[in-house]
Structure 1
Amino acid sequence: MARYKNGINGPISGKVGAVVGSSWRGVEYLKSLPDRGGKAFTEKQKNQQFLMGMVSKWLKPLKRIIEIGYQIFVTGKTPMNGCVSYHMKHAVTGNSPLEYVINFAKVIFSRGELLIPLIKEVLGLMDAVLHIKWDNASTSVFNNDDDKATIVVYNPAKQAFVSFENVAQRADKEAVLQLPAAYAGDRVHCWQHFVNERGDAVSTTVYLGEVLVS
């Protein structure tokens, strides 16, 4: 990659032959296009590209939650890239595009040092209401009463997420959530984690299981 200040005709933008001109934070750069030597992508590379696209698309609606949840567990990556990488390695089953399936029990939207909630009960009540009860360990630097609960719900039938940020404090030991009325009769998957008052520490996501919405 080359850096320059002034071209003959000013800064170059876009592709010119085998060179691409671009600008980043006011600095102009030239870089050559990669040479694949006419080689076609292998089947493994195609599968990897498909898998990355599938996982990225599935996680995209939760970008805000993931940016908080993965803020300290990425090196040289964005929180979203770190989250995608984790799920590609640990939360997808199958060996080809036709077989790939998200393993909901291994999904993690946050990773951190705060203590996880001790889940006691997850109930689907009438009128699409979800009731979650938990208990807590003794108060400590990793377990504060004012830690805030974030709960994520995914409906495979609707292919849609519903998220509830800061819906309750750790000390409340319960949360009552109103799901969309259209979810009645569907089965949903649920996850919960805590974020501290400053927003710079989280607990690791806990999978709450699959619930039938009434």
Structure 2
Amino acid sequence: MARVANTLLNGIQGTMGDMIFYQVNGVTYTRRRPNKRTNAQKKRMKKSPLNERSQGMFSMVQKYLKTLRSAIAFGYQEHTVGASLPYHACVSYTRKNCFAFDGRDYRIDPALIKVSRGSLMPPEGAKAEKVGEGILFTWRNNSWISSARPSDQAFIVIHDTENTTMDWVDLGNFREQGEHLFKLRSYYLNSSWHVYMAFSQKNYISKKRTLSDSVYLGVV
């Protein structure tokens, strides 16, 4: 992947020779077109146990993260590099770090998932519990430790255990407040959720948010 600097080629899309031109956020990039494999090569690749597991893991990650995609766009915003988008960074991290293995069997472990990653100080002593109106998140106020500030805002994601829906809040209560009530719709009150929490901080230079790594708080 390379960014196109030649102004004559800006805006071009499609194939030219052995190069593929494409656009991301209005910027033109290029990559080399992969060589065509023979039928024999394709057959050998399909039979490879390592290749089968790699493809299986990739498909599993894509399916699992599909529900979380909108939250990932916020949580991985620091990882936008060129044509690599936040979702791509999350897919890569999940493939490498979020699987539990049992012999030849493998599965994604929700406790290892990161819905955000970044350099900000994460929550300390965070807990989540069901209450009448929803889920109450509490944490210790660690403002002014390292990069933490009182005005950092909670980023909360809840993901149902059946992987069919999720809900989230991007700019919740401040770090100094020590708690946030995540109100649930009435038809969600009896559901079980994997819950995650992080903090974000406004970056006045980039006009974006600096995120912390998310913390998994279990199933509620």
TM-score over 0.5 (shorter chain): yes
Deviations 1:144-201 (A, max 9, x none): 1111111001112362111111121112211111223333333211000011023331
- Aligned AA (1:145): P
CA-to-partner distance for each residue in 1:114-170, whole Å, 9 max, x for gaps?
A: 11112353210135x101111122425611111111100111236211111112111
What is the letter of the counterpart of residue 35 of structure 1?
Answer: K
Q: What does residue 47 of structure 1 align with?
A: 53
The residue aligned with 1:176 is 181
- The residue aligned with 1:34 is 35
CA distance in 1, matches of 2:146, 2:155: 19
What is the SS of the residue equivalent to 1:167? coil
CA contact (8 A) 1:154 1:189 kept: yes
Deviation at 1:30, TM superposition (A): 11
Pair 1:50–1:126, CA change in 2 (3 A) = same
CA distance in 2, matches of 1:87, 1:13: 30
Query: 1:102-141, aligned counterparts within 5 Å?
Result: 102-127=108-133, 129-140=134-145
1:24 matched to which residue of 2? 22
CA deviations over 1:68-94 (Å, ceiling 9, x no partner): 433445767332222111111211123
Length, aligned pairs only: 199
Q: How does 1:72-87 map to 2 (within 5 A)?
A: 72-73=78-79, 77-87=84-94
Report the equivalent of 1:209. Answer: 218
Can you give the 5+ residue segments of structure 1 that lack an aligned partner in the other structure? Answer: 6-10
Q: Which residue of 1 aligns with 2:199?
A: 194
- Alignment partner for residue 92 of structure 1, among 84, 88, 99? 99
Q: Which amino acid in structure 2 is aligned with residue 207 of structure 1?
A: Y
Q: In the aligned structure 2, how far is the partner of 1:102 from the partner of 1:12?
A: 36
Relative to the length of structure 1, the TM-score reads 0.75
Name structure 2 gaps, 5 residues minimum: 1-7
Larger-gyration structure (1/2): 1
SS in 1 for 2:61: helix
Partner amino acid for 1:143?
Answer: A
Provide the secondary structure at the position in 2 that maps to 1:144.
Answer: coil
Specify the code of the residue in structure 2 equivalent to 1:125: V
1:32, CA displacement in angstroms? 5.8
Please give the TM-score of this superposition, normalised by the length of structure 2: 0.73
Distance 1:158 1:63 in 2: 12
Other-structure match for 1:151: 156
The offset of 1:202, in angstroms, is 1.1
